[in-house]
C-alpha cells in the first residue's frame, strides 16, 4: 500500500478492477510509475486529498504545502489536470485588512474616473481611448 505523508494513496475499487479483473485504467497510477507522480482518474481521489477549488470552497488555502497527487481526465481532445493537497494541512484563508480593502476600493474608483472631465462613471473607462464615452464619442 502506498502511503504518502499519512494519506493512503490507493482506491480499493480501482485496485480490484486492475488487479483482479485485468482492466487498464489510463489515469490510475497511485505509485507514480507512469506519470512520475501519484495520479488518479476524475472523481476517484483518495479521502483526505482535495483540489485547490475544494479548499477555497471550504474557506481554506494550501498554506505552502507541496502537491501530493494529481487528477487527470480527458475533455474533448485535451488532457486536463488538477493538483491534490492534504486537507488536514490546509489553513484558513487570510482576511484582507481594512487598509487593503480601502486600497482596492480606491483603485476601482480610479478606474471609473475620467481624466478629462474628472467625473466618476458607472462603468470602467475604456483603456483604448483613456476617456469616458461622453468625452470621446468615437469609442461608441
Do 44 and 74 fall within a single domain? Answer: yes
Do 114 and 59 fall within a single domain? Answer: no
Q: How far apart, in whole angstroms, are the C-alpha atoms of residue 57 and residue 52?
A: 9
Q: For Cα atoms 120, 124, 130, give the angle at the middle one, nearest 5 degrees.
A: 90
pLDDT at 1: 45
Do 104 and 83 fall within a single domain? Answer: no
pLDDT at 28: 79
Do 88 and 110 fall within a single domain? Answer: no
Work out how many domains the chain is built from and give that number. 2
Q: How far apart, in whole angstroms, are the C-alpha atoms of residue 122 and residue 101?
A: 20
Residue 53 lies in domain = 3-92
Do 72 and 13 fall within a single domain? Answer: yes
Do 118 and 71 fall within a single domain? Answer: no
pLDDT at 8: 64
Do 80 and 49 fall within a single domain? Answer: yes
Do 103 and 88 fall within a single domain? Answer: no
pLDDT at 25: 65
pLDDT at 21: 67
Do 88 and 106 fall within a single domain? Answer: no
Give the end of a domain, one of 92, 107, 123: 92
Do 84 and 34 fall within a single domain? Answer: yes
Q: Encode the chain (140 residues) as per-residue pLDDT tens digits.
A: 455 555 567 776 776 676 666 666 667 778 878 888 888 888 888 888 999 999 999 999 999 999 999 998 888 889 899 999 999 999 999 999 999 999 999 999 999 999 999 999 999 999 888 899 888 877 65
pLDDT at 37: 85
Amino acid at each position: 500500500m502506498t502511503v504518502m505523508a499519512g494519506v493512503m494513496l490507493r482506491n480499493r475499487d480501482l485496485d480490484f478492477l486492475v488487479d483482479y479483473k485485468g482492466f487498464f485504467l489510463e489515469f490510475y497510477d497511485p505509485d507514480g510509475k507512469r506519470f512520475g507522480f501519484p495520479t488518479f482518474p476524475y472523481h476517484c481521489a483518495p479521502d483526505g486529498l482535495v483540489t485547490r477549488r475544494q479548499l477555497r470552497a471550504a474557506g481554506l488555502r494550501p498554506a505552502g504545502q507541496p502537491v501530493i497527487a494529481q487528477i487527470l481526465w480527458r475533455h474533448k481532445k485535451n488532457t486536463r489536470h488538477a493538483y491534490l493537497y492534504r486537507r488536514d494541512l490546509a489553513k484558513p484563508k487570510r482576511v484582507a485588512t481594512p487598509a487593503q480593502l480601502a486600497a482596492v476600493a480606491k483603485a476601482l474608483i480610479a478606474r471609473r474616473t475620467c481624466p478629462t472631465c474628472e467625473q466618476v462613471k458607472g462603468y470602467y473607462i475604456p483603456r483604448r481611448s483613456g476617456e469616458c464615452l461622453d468625452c470621446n464619442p468615437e469609442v461608441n
